[in-house]
């Protein structure tokens, strides 16, 4: 038998299957989708088995060294999906496979077999080899020729193969104790101990009284009110025995979720869910665009669709953008489906993510709620894939493989004959256009629950404020509204339209701005560390006390970061209690959740934050939303900037007045006449859509054109220019006259980590020859690594920088 293996060397020359002989002792054990160790040149590396053949056209094949899995980690569907992914996004096959697995599986690991059944139920050959922790290391299993037996035991559910990830990502274990002697003997012991051993007696009574015979040490100590030394003494005397138990790391372990039941759907909801449920029942693939204003009950539709899917013994993937994967969101799914839900997002540790993935792989859960990469969850019988806030740009991955979760979802759903639901209050232009054409089925929820009115929105022209002498970052209107809320004890959300906090240092005399020495971007000021930092390469510098250009002392941080706003708030409304949420206050694990809970419990009057508070917040007492600077995003070099501005303003406005109390929104701007801001006032998506479509048509942008962005970088600027010219010439020769080729021009960020960057942008409608041409370009430059020129190709890019 010959196995075809994709090896873990992400390079053009190795981006193809390599043939290896399957040694006799691994015949019948190795399956496709398993990871193996193979000799590769002088090294031993990891690879994925993708196929088997009788013969190979190569002679002198080497043998597979070792197999790393007992059950395939990639099933057939995911294997073929990885092929599709590498074709679509022009990435290496190995990258496409690795992106589907949790990071822990790429790390170094040690493998162990863990019994799931009693020791007595295992064959003697296996049980006699269990180590002190009750498991069988892989190495020992191989050394004793037990793989075949173990494979059967795993199939019978009596054993499980686990990866003991080295470094920090071990399985989580807790220390447990139990009575060493029988119940009767322990009771006698309790009687016989003198009162001077009262603490030991407490432990004995506690263990005797409890139902389970094994207790965690932490719990026992707390309940019996004793310290470690008592436990130690009792272990030494042989009253107790101790061992370790593996537990799943549960990021929500200290929370209980209140069970919720389905609501009786409103007429609009019923009308929308009907075609979705039909598609589920009939095992047919359809893509639905669920366009519903904020608070119109989209989530309830997701929940009831999933319920249907579960009743068919199928599984569901629910994608939410990273920043709106809030505890509130998780609670709604855990509340409805309890233990059947796995949660995956970047806030989890590598180990926690791995544990959640294992629950899916072992079919212990049927629903996954997660960010982008959860679209690869290894479910085998998908009944629906849902993408909430489908317009969010975080669904596009910016590193290879540069995939969009929406495309992957639709591709998987086709293979599983199930529907995809794309939900949003402000769908992406691409999706809405597809729905208009009938490619997607449009479902509309136009009313909020209980018919609450949409919040009243006022737009404040900040130039006017300045003309009338108000130099504050708060308009008079916003300040007045804010004070009213403080009096009425209602809550306010203040939103700063900026990524993170981008305070930069500027000299007020000469205009000098501190730049990163390696990248063409200004450095940002980080107050907590009192340092200047480059967000692209991590370069740090001291904060200058005088201007390096003109020696002026008037150099200070500029721009309105959240910290600056907080300072101003302290001056304007000194009694208000403020919670600030930004990259600085939410770096620690769980801090995001803590801050939100505190705000929800009314521990603060004002929640001040960046993008991360725009979504998912649902508190009844929020009656005012203020947007401090609506236009910062409008000026980015991005054809989607108007769309993003409209979406964001609509999202934040949706935070106000979601329940009984009416909501109000104040948007401050320097460009009130811009249609994306003007239309956010009435939140009329269709009007915005029509106007923006006209702009896109004129500018030849998506959804009228497809795009591909080629970025070329090198340390020598002349080299970059000449290669970019070559590529652009080639494109002009080979593509049809309908294709528009822009560039080469310097990228908006012209240098990163000392590499100069140029780009060519291709806009096209139908271009059969494009993919092969792009592949050829990649081949040409990647394989020869021509003078270390780097080429990146992003098909349907979201970031043009
Ligand atoms: P969206 O996801 O569109 O923002 P939600 O699903 O969060 O809207 O619904 C808004 C509020 O209305 C939530 O508090 C939700 O529990 C409630 N809700 C949704 N559907 C119903 C229903 N059919 N009956 C009563 N309340 C509902
Ligand atoms: Zn200066
Ligand atoms: Zn830098």
Answer yes or no: is pLDDT of 163 > 80. no
Residues constituting the chain: 801
Answer yes or no: is pLDDT of 786 > 70. no
The closest residue, in CA terms, to atom 9 on ligand 1 is 297
Residue 501 binned pLDDT confidence (cut-offs 50, 70, 90): very low
Q: What per-residue confidence (pLDDT) applies to 246?
A: 65
Per-position DSSP letters for 104-122, written without gaps between them: GGTS-EEEEEEE-S-GGGS
Residue 166 binned pLDDT confidence (cut-offs 50, 70, 90): very low
Answer yes or no: is pLDDT of 700 > 90. no
> Per residue in 543-560, is it b (16+ CB within 10 Å) or e — as a string?
beeebeeeeeeebebbbb
pLDDT in tens, 623-660: 899 998 887 777 666 788 889 889 888 888 877 776 67
Ligand closest to 552 (CA) is 2
Answer yes or no: is pLDDT of 108 > 80. no
The closest residue, in CA terms, to atom 4 on ligand 1 is 295
Which residue did the predictor score with more confidence, 607 or 538? 607
Q: What per-residue confidence (pLDDT) applies to 168?
A: 34
The CA distance from 380 to 280, in Å, is: 15
Ligand closest to 519 (CA) is 3
The pLDDT of 127-144, averaged and rounded, is: 84
Tokens at residue 44, please? 């031993």
Answer yes or no: is pLDDT of 481 > 70. yes
Answer yes or no: is pLDDT of 380 > 90. yes
Q: What per-residue confidence (pLDDT) applies to 441?
A: 97
Phi, psi values for residue 580, rounded to 5°: -105, 130
Kindly report which listed range (207-221, 310-324, 520-534, 716-730) carries the lowest average pLDDT score: 520-534
pLDDT in tens, 312-365: 999 999 999 876 667 778 888 999 998 899 998 877 877 888 889 989 998 999
Strand (E) positions, 439-538?
441-445, 456-461, 491-495, 504-507, 524-526, 531-533
Pairing mode of beta strands 315-319, 382-388? parallel
Mutate which of 449, 454, 660, 663 to test ligand 1's pocket (most atoms within 8 Å of Cβ)?
449
The pLDDT of 270-281, averaged and rounded, is: 97
The closest residue, in CA terms, to atom 23 on ligand 1 is 265
Distance 297 CA to ligand 1 centre (A): 4
The closest residue, in CA terms, to atom 15 on ligand 1 is 297
Asked if 444 and 291 touch (Cβ cutoff 8 Å), the reply is yes
Q: What is the CATH number of domain 456-502+559-696?
A: 3.40.50.300
Pocket of ligand 1 (CB under 6 A): 263-266, 269, 292, 294-300, 449
pLDDT in tens, 224-237: 888 888 988 998 88
Distance 553 CA to ligand 2 centre (A): 8
Distance 185 CA to ligand 2 centre (A): 84
Tell the CATH topology of 2-105: GIY-YIG endonuclease (3.40.1440)
Distance 554 CA to ligand 2 centre (A): 7
**Start-end of CATH 3.40.50.300 domains in the chain:** 267-451, 456-502+559-696
Distance 531 CA to ligand 2 centre (A): 19
Mutate which of 270, 273, 298, 299 to test ligand 1's pocket (most atoms within 8 Å of Cβ)?
299
> Per residue in 95-108, is it b (16+ CB within 10 Å) or e — as a string?
bbbbbbbbbbbebe
**Range 267-451 has CATH code 3.40.50.300:** yes
Which of ligand 1's atoms lies nearest the C-alpha of 293? Answer: 3
Residue 667 binned pLDDT confidence (cut-offs 50, 70, 90): very high
Asked if 623 and 491 touch (Cβ cutoff 8 Å), the reply is yes
Asked if 210 and 216 touch (Cβ cutoff 8 Å), the reply is no
Cα 360 versus chain centre, distance: 17
**Start-end of CATH 3.40.1440.60 domains in the chain:** 2-105
Answer yes or no: is pLDDT of 502 > 60. no
The CA distance from 729 to 706, in Å, is: 20
Q: What per-residue confidence (pLDDT) applies to 533?
A: 79
Residue 500 binned pLDDT confidence (cut-offs 50, 70, 90): very low
The CA distance from 114 to 234, in Å, is: 29
Ligand closest to 751 (CA) is 3
Q: How far does the chain reach from its first CA to its final CA, in angstroms?
A: 49
Q: What per-residue confidence (pLDDT) applies to 165?
A: 45
Kindly report which listed range (109-113, 142-146, 309-313) carries the lowest average pLDDT score: 109-113
Which residue did the predictor score with more confidence, 163 or 222? 222
The CA distance from 231 to 222, in Å, is: 12
Ligand closest to 518 (CA) is 3
pTM confidence score: 0.79
The pLDDT of 408-418, averaged and rounded, is: 97
Highest mean pLDDT among 8-17, 424-433, 616-625: 424-433
**Range 706-795 has CATH code 3.30.1370.10:** no
Answer yes or no: is pLDDT of 106 > 80. no
Q: For the chain, give the mean pLDDT.
A: 86
């Amino acid at each position: 038998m010959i196995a075809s293996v994709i090896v873990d060397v992400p390079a053009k020359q190795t981006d193809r299957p390599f043939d290896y002989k399957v040694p006799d002792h691994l015949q019948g054990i190795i399956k496709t989708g398993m990871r193996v160790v193979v000799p590769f040149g002088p090294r031993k590396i990891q690879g994925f088995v993708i196929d088997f053949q009788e013969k190979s056209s190569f002679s002198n094949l080497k043998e597979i060294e070792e197999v790393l899995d007992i059950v395939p980690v990639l099933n057939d569907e995911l294997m073929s999906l990885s092929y599709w992914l590498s074709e679509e996004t022009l990435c290496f096959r190995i990258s496409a496979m690795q992106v589907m697995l949790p990071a822990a599986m790429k790390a170094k690991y040690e493998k162990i077999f863990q019994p799931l059944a009693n020791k007595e139920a295992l064959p003697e050959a296996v049980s006699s080899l269990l180590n002190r922790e009750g498991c069988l290391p892989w190495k020992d299993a191989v050394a004793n020729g037990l793989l075949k037996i173990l494979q059967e035991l795993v199939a019978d559910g009596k054993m499980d193969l686990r990866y003991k990830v080295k470094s920090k990502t071990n399985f989580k274990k807790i220390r447990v104790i139990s009575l060493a002697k029988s119940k009767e003997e322990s009771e006698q012991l309790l009687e016989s101990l003198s009162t001077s051993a009262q603490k030991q007696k407490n432990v004995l009574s506690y263990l005797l009284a409890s139902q389970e015979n094994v207790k965690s040490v932490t719990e026992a100590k707390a309940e019996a009110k004793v310290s470690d030394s008592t436990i130690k003494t009792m272990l030494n005397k042989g009253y107790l025995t101790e061992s370790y138990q593996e537990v799943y790391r549960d990021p929500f372990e200290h929370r209980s979720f209140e069970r919720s039941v389905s609501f009786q759907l409103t007429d609009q909801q019923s009308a929308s869910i009907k075609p979705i449920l039909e598609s589920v029942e009939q095992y047919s693939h359809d893509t639905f665009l669920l366009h519903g204003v904020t608070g119109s009950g989209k989530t309830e539709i997701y929940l009831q669709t999933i319920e249907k899917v579960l009743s068919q013994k199928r599984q569901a993937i629910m994608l939410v953008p990273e920043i709106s994967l809030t505890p509130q969101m998780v609670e709604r799914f855990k509340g409805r489906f309890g233990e059947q839900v796995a949660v995956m997002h970047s806030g989890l540790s590598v180990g926690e993510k791995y544990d959640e993935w294992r629950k899916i792989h072992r079919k212990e859960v049927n629903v996954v709620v997660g960010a982008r990469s959860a679209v690869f969850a290894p479910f085998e019988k998908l009944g629906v894939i849902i993408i909430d806030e489908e317009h969010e740009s975080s669904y596009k991955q910016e590193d290879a493989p540069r995939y969009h979760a929406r495309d992957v979802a639709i591709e998987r759903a086709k293979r599983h004959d199930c529907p995809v639901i794309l939900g949003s209050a402000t769908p992406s232009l691409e999706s809405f256009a597809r729905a208009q054409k009938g490619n997607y089925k449009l479902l509309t929820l136009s009313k909020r629950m209980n018919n609450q009115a949409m919040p009243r929105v006022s737009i404040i022209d900040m130039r006017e404020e300045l003309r009338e002498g108000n130099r504050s970052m708060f308009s008079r209107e916003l300040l007045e509204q804010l004070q009213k809320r403080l009096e009425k004890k209602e809550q306010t959300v203040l939103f700063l339209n900026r990524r993170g906090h981008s305070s930069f240092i500027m000299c007020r005399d000469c205009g000098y701005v501190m730049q990163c020495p390696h990248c063409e971007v200004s450095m940002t000021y980080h107050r907590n560390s009192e340092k200047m930092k480059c967000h692209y390469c991590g370069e740090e510098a001291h904060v200058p006390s005088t201007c390096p250009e003109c020696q002026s002392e008037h150099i200070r941080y500029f721009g309105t970061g959240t910290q600056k706003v907080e300072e101003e708030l302290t001056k304007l409304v000194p009694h208000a209690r403020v919670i600030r949420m930004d990259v600085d206050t939410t770096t620690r694990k769980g801090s995001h959740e803590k801050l939100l809970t505190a705000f929800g419990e009314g521990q603060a009057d004002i929640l001040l934050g960046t993008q991360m508070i725009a979504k998912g917040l649902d508190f009844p007492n929020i009656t005012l939303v203020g947007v401090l600077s609506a236009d910062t995003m409008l000026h980015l070099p991005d054809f989607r900037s108007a769309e993003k501005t409209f979406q964001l303003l609509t999202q934040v406005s949706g935070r106000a007045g979601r329940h009984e109390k009416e909501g109000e929104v104040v948007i401050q701007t320097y460009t009130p006449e811009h249609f994306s801001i003007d239309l956010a006032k009435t939140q009329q998506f269709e009007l915005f859509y029509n106007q923006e479509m006209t702009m896109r048509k004129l500018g030849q942008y998506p959804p009228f054109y497809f795009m591909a962005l080629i970025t070329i970088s090198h340390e020598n600027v002349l080299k970059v220019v000449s290669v970019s010219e070559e590529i652009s010439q080639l494109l002009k020769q080979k593509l049809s006259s309908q294709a528009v080729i822009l560039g080469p021009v310097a990228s908006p960020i012209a240098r990163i980590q000392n590499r100069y960057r140029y780009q060519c942008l291709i806009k096209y409608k139908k271009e059969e020859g494009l993919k092969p041409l792009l592949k050829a370009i990649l081949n040409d430059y990647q394989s020869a690594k021509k003078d270390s020129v780097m080429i990146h190709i992003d098909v349907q890019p979201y970031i043009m920088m």
